[in-house]
Chain A
Amino acid sequence: MAVTIPIGPQHPALKEPINLTVTVDGETIVDIGVRLGYNHRGIEKAGELGNYIQDIYLTARICGICSHIHSTTFCQGVEELLGLEVPKRGLYIRTLVCELERIHSHLLWLGVAGHELGFDTLFMYSWRDREIVMDLLEIISGNRVNYGMNTIGGVRRNITDEMKPQILKGIQQLKERTEYYLGVASTEVTFLRRTEGVGLLPKEKAIELCACGPTARGSGVEYDVRRDDPYAAYPYLDFKVVTSDLGDVLGRTVVRVLEVIESCKMCRQIIEELPEGEFRTKAPRKVPAGEVVSKTEAPRGELLHYIRSNGTDHPERLKVRTPTLANITSVLHCLKGGYIADIPIVFAAIDPCMACMDRIMILDSENRNRKEKQAISWEELRKYSMKWYSDRYQSPSPLKGEARRV
């Protein structure tokens, strides 16, 4: 017998509006459906109505956490359509903000993951340290969130020599703190108990379901747009693609924490090798007709903008594919067979960003036609529970998902 429990759109475990329809048998999830769209705004249509300059700021507001990467993707697409050569200094500054944003996003995620695990100390600690990177972003751009750094042809603000020591100092502090968190994530018993073996996503499944970003890399899939399809200043930087073969929530955590350390190294290299010269060029208002696929690695994974221009000052079509949407099929797979108590952390482990994803929405359930009995009598429930427990403890093959929690 299965019981269906609705979770969300407003729920203590979820920070953003999403509706999960969870069908459980005892405490084991047998089926899960997702209803999104509480955040659907219609940005793709709005993008067709605005001109290119307006669209930079519109795409930045697709998501408040990864606003810079959205505008970067859009700007580099338009630059490719224009055939515009961006000065190297502009590319370096753009990449610096990208990496700082990745650090801020991953630390934010680490805190939220700690919160979902009931480990609020980690939540408070990592959010405190996140303020360091917020300060750096404020020094560079003048705002803590939604930096408005990008423009077509480069960036809008320069990095002065006075900023450099401040940034280097902040990065050093962050690196030390992150190394401490790496210790927490790999040794702290509370953390390990709640993450090891939870939300397993095998490598083959991750490839099949086209997962991307830290979700895929946590399952051992070596795919990173920064290396495989380099953009901005990434061809000039040394960095490693972090992967983990664990495939569970712990794997995804370790990947993110190590990525923060890699990002710190990249930021240091960018500051040290920052080329001299202009940081932007002038771009024409009208863009010749054409089409372009612009790809970047957002903190959550591969981000794609498809832009088609028609020779005027506004795009013909703007299509945005965000990483959360790609990972949502994987997370549904991860949740099935797990425990209901693990929903928040497994769901949080892909770092879902409803604001990004919810320009579209999904309703998914494979076996909807199963007979669901919602109300049962006390006697029925007692019989059912006795049967459930006797099945569970006497049969040689326990229910799926049981073996890992002994």
Chain B
Amino acid sequence: MLESLTKWSRVKSPWVCHLNTGGCNGCDIETLAALMPRFDIERFGILLKGTPRHADVLLCCGPITRQMKNRAVRIYEQMPDPKFVIAIGSCACSGDVFWGCYNVLGGIDKAIPVNVYIPGCPPRPDAIIHGVVKLLGDLDPSYNQLLEELKRKNEIHVSGE
């Protein structure tokens, strides 16, 4: 009973925390733009939180730098279980242009486990919405219908599908 209640609330209102692990800011501003009136990610109940202790989902932007690695792990550990990580942008997925830079370790998955990868430099806000809804679809299959609906209404564009 309690389990289904927590699952319901988690799926209906996932709280996210945003973390820049060394990126160029491009993905950060697109993530913020997704929260703004035009794209309005809040209609899925998604709320931006300042502290990882309140968050279910960690939005990571940028490659992981040497200095940031331990901090990212600490922030990840502060989140309550079950926790999810979304890597936003090509850098967060693999390191991208910063691959081979002496202070960059690579993608976010070098430090913490990642659930969803959103490639793009930077991904458009609708791609970010797509990624988040896909994560919700993993938690509750009924969200896959929402995804279909969004695609039909042309609110998100999926290339290669």
List the interface of chain A (C-beta within 8 A of B): 9-13, 15-17, 37-43, 45-46, 49, 57-58, 61-65, 67, 108, 124, 127-128, 130-131, 134, 144-146, 353-355, 358, 361
Task: Name the interface residues of B51-88: CB closer than 8 Å to any CB of A.
Answer: 51-52, 62-63, 65, 67-68, 71, 75
B68's contact among A12, A17, A64, by CB below 8 Å, is which?
A17
Tell whether, in the assembled complex, residue B122 and residue A353 are in contact, meaning their CB atoms are under 8 Å apart.
no
Q: How far is the CB of B102 from chain A (nearest CB, A)?
A: 4
A-B contact pairs, 13 of them (CB 8 A): A10-B75, A38-B21, A38-B68, A38-B71, A40-B67, A63-B25, A64-B29, A67-B24, A108-B29, A127-B32, A144-B122, A145-B26, A354-B20
Is A39 within 8 A of B20, CB to CB? yes
Q: Tell me whether A65 and B25 are in contact in the complex, defined as CB-CB below 8 angstroms, given that A10-B71, A40-B67, A42-B101 are known contacts.
A: yes
Question: Is B143 part of the contact surface with A, judged by Cβ < 8 Å?
Answer: no
The minimal Cβ–Cβ distance linking B58 to chain A, given in whole angstroms, is 10
Given contacts A38-B65, A124-B36, A128-B38, contact A45 B71 (CB under 8 A): no
Q: Are B24 and A63 in contact (CB under 8 A)?
A: yes
User: Max chain A CB contacts within 10 Å: which of B29, B32, B102?
Assistant: B29
Q: Which residues of B contact A16 (CB under 8 A)?
A: 20, 25, 28
CB-based contact B37/A124 at 8 Å: yes
List 5 tightest A-B contacts by C-beta distance, closest first.
Answer: A64-B26, A12-B50, A42-B101, A64-B25, A127-B36
Complex contact B36–A9 (CB within 8 A):
no
Quick one: closest B residue to A43, CB to CB?
B101
Are B25 and A353 closer than 8 Å at their CB atoms? yes
The smallest C-beta distance from B51 to any residue of chain A, in angstroms, reads: 6
- Does B156 sit within 8 A of A, measured CB to CB? no
Residues of chain A within 8 A of B26, CB atoms compared: 61, 63-65, 67, 145-146
CA distance A9 to B37 in the complex (A): 28
* Residue B111, interface by CB 8 Å: no
Q: Which residues of A contact B62 (CB under 8 A)?
A: 39, 355
In the complex, whether B14 has a CB less than 8 A from a CB of chain A is: no
Q: Which of A65, A127, A358 contacts B37 (CB 8 A)?
A: A127
Which residues of chain B (103-146) have a CB below 8 Å from chain A?
103-104, 121-122, 124
Tell whether, in the assembled complex, residue B104 and residue A42 are in contact, meaning their CB atoms are under 8 Å apart. Answer: yes
Question: Which residues from chain B contact A46 at a C-beta distance below 8 Å?
Answer: 97-98, 100-101
**How many residues from B make CB contacts under 8 Å with A?**
39
Determine the residue in chain B with the shortest Cβ distance to A12: B50
Contact A145 B30 (CB under 8 A): yes
Q: Is the CB of B122 within 8 A of A37?
A: no
Point out which of A13, A40, A45, A49 has the most chain B C-beta atoms below 10 A from its C-beta. A40
Alpha-carbon separation in the docked complex, A46 to B65 (Å): 14
Q: A10-B52, A65-B26 are in contact. Are A57 and B97 (CB under 8 A)?
A: yes
Tell whether, in the assembled complex, residue B20 and residue A17 are in contact, meaning their CB atoms are under 8 Å apart: yes
Judged by a CB distance under 8 angstroms, whether B27 is at the interface is yes
Shortest Cβ distance from A53 into chain B, in angstroms? 13
Q: In the complex, what's the smallest C-beta–C-beta distance from B137 to chain A, in angstroms? A: 25
Cα distance A144–B26 when bound, in Å? 9
A49:B22 contact, CB within 8 angstroms: no
CB of B19 within 8 A of chain A? yes
User: Does the CB pair B122–A41 fall under 8 Å?
Assistant: no
Residues of B within 8 A of A64 (CB): 23-29, 122
Given known contacts A39-B20, A46-B98, A144-B30, A355 and B38 CB-to-CB distance under 8 angstroms: no
CB distance from A180 to the nearest CB of B (A): 16
Q: Is B47 among interface residues, defined by CB-CB distance under 8 A?
A: no
Closest to B22 in A: A39
Given known A-B contacts A58-B97, A65-B26, A145 and B122 have beta carbons under 8 A apart:
yes
- Cβ A61 vs Cβ B24 within 8 A: yes
Q: Out of A45, A134, A358, which one reaches B102, CB within 8 Å?
A: A45
In the assembled complex, which residues on chain B have CB atoms less than 8 Å from the CB atom of A355? 20, 23-25, 62
Distance A386 CA – B10 CA, assembled complex (angstroms) = 47
Q: Which residue from chain A places its CB closest to the CB of B89 in the assembled complex? A: A64
- Which residues of chain A have C-beta atoms less than 8 A from B75's C-beta? 10
Query: How far is A13 from B20 in the complex, measured between Cα atoms in Å?
Result: 13
B33 touches which of A45, A127, A353 (Cβ 8 Å): A127
Contacts of B37 in A (CB 8 A): 124, 127-128
Instruction: Name the residue among A11, A57, A355 with the largest chain B CB count within 10 angstroms.
Output: A355
Using Cβ atoms and an 8 Å threshold, which residues of chain A touch B38? 128, 131
Q: Which of A12, A40, A361 interacts with B51 by CB under 8 Å? A: A12
| Complex interface: chain A residues within 8 A of B102 (CB) | 42, 45
Distance in Å: Cβ of A121 to nearest Cβ of chain B: 11
Q: Which of A40, A49, A62, A65 contacts B100 (CB 8 A)?
A: A49
A329 to B67: give the CA distance in the assembly, Å: 22
The smallest beta-carbon distance between A395 and chain B, in angstroms, is: 38
Contact A37 B67 (CB under 8 A): yes
Taken together as a complex, chains A and B put the C-alpha atoms of A67 and B28 apart, in Å, by 14
Which residues of the partner chain B approach A128 to less than 8 Å between Cβ atoms?
36-38
Rounded to whole angstroms, the CA-CA distance of A45 and B97 in the bound complex is 13
Among B20, B27, B51, chain A packs the most CB atoms within 10 A around the CB of B20
A-side contacts of B97, CB under 8 Å: 46, 57-58, 61
* Chain B residues whose CB sits within 8 angstroms of the CB of A67 once the complex forms: 24, 26
